[in-house]
Amino acid sequence: MTSPRVSDHPIDPLFTRRWSPRAFTGEPIPRETLSTVLEAARWAPSSFNSQPWRFIVGHRDTPAWAPIFDALAEVNRGWAHRASALIVIVSRTQWVPPGKTEVEPLRSHSFDTGAAWASMAFQATMLGWHVHGIGGFDRDRVRASLGVPADHAVEAVVAIGRQGDPSVLTDAQRAREMPNQRQPLAALVAEGRFDFPG
Ligand SMILES: Cc1cc2nc3c(=O)[nH]c(=O)nc-3n(C[C@H](O)[C@H](O)[C@H](O)COP(=O)(O)O)c2cc1C
């Protein structure tokens, strides 16, 4: 048993309700539902409104699934095969800003794309679906097989699905199948200067 998630300060329950299970049902996700999840990402804030995020979707049981799934680390293939869709998130690393003619780096491409990912995660939660971020995959393989150009960074893969029964998991997976906790806010916030232990 784990303790339930309790926030140190009052927040909308959505923030503690979102978590990353590994047991999924494998049922298809309606395209309209996934569009709503991605629409939430579309409205994320970004530096100069540059919107550097791009999403490459692979619904299960379609030809777009295998090139993403096959690039996952074995430990992640061990549960992600029950997801409804896998989404590769890439970000544009440079652009020509409005009113300029030269290409410039988009320094906040990862930061901004992280905001879009979080928006996806919360919108999925609100709709009764779960997302699970995946960093354990072969980025070069994804870049090659999906045709991601050099001026885009391969950020992450996201598995989306309906939460399934933990009995489908291996013992090791099941032992981790619960919402985890967080450091206290006091360990994350300092006033006036960088003042954090360790
Ligand atoms: C960018 C990113 C990469 C992650 N990579 C993996 C991964 O490769 N395998 C995995 O099982 N979980 C992965 N996770 C899930 C995290 O372990 C999880 O989000 C974290 O423990 C917090 O738990 P919660 O999402 O349930 O709140 C990843 C999450 C993110 C955001």
Q: Give residue for tokens 């999403």.
A: 55
CA 118/CA 123 separation, integer angstroms? 9
74 vs 15: CA distance, rounded Å: 30
* Under 8 Å between Cβ of 48 and 104: no
The pLDDT score that the predictor gives to residue 6 is: 95
- Side chain identity at residue 62, one-letter code: T
Dihedral angle of Cα 19, 12, 90, 181, to the nearest 10 degrees: -40
pLDDT of 130 reads 98
Cβ of 182 less than 6 Å from ligand 1 = no
**How many angstroms separate the alpha carbon of residue 178 from the centre of ligand 1?**
12
In a domain, 191, yes or no: no
Query: Ligand 1: does its nearest atom lie under 6 Å from the Cβ of 179?
Result: yes
Residue 198's pLDDT is 77
Q: If you measure from the C-alpha of residue 132 to the centroid of ligand 1, how many angstroms do you get, rounded to a whole number?
A: 6
Amino acid 2: pLDDT: 67
Is residue 80 predicted with pLDDT exceeding 80?
yes
CATH number at residue 91: 3.40.109.10
Kindly report, residue by residue over 92-132, the tens digit of the pLDDT: 999 999 999 999 999 999 999 999 999 999 999 999 999 99
pLDDT for 197: 85
Res 186: pLDDT: 92
Q: What pLDDT, on the 0 to 100 scale, is given for residue 18?
A: 98
The Cα–Cα gap between 80 and 23 comes to 8
Q: Tell me if 196 is assigned to some domain.
A: no
Q: Which residue's alpha carbon is at the smallest distance from atom 6 of ligand 1? A: 134
pLDDT (tens digit per residue) in 20-61 = 999 999 999 999 999 999 999 999 999 999 999 999 999 999
Going from the Cα of 120 to the center of ligand 1, the distance in angstroms, rounded, reads: 14
Domain assignment present for 74:
yes
> How remote is the CA of residue 131 from the centroid of ligand 1, in Å?
10
Asked, for residue 95, whether it belongs to a domain, the answer is yes
Which helix (H) or strand (E) is 173 found in, with range? helix 171-175
Atom of ligand 1 nearest to the CA of 117: 31
Domain around 113? 20-163
133 lines ligand 1 (CB under 6 A): yes
Alpha helix ranges (H) inside 29-166:
31-42, 65-69, 74-80, 109-126, 139-146
| Distance of alpha carbon 12 from alpha carbon 125, whole angstroms | 13
In a domain, 169, yes or no: no
Residue 1: which pLDDT band, with cuts at 50, 70 and 90?
low
Q: Is the CB of 105 under 6 A from ligand 1?
A: no
Q: Are 190 and 12 in contact (CB under 8 A)?
A: no
For residue range 125-161, what is the model confidence (pLDDT) as tens digits? 999 999 999 999 999 999 999 999 999 999 999 999 9
Whose CA is closest to atom 16 on ligand 1?
Answer: 133
Number of domains in the chain: 1
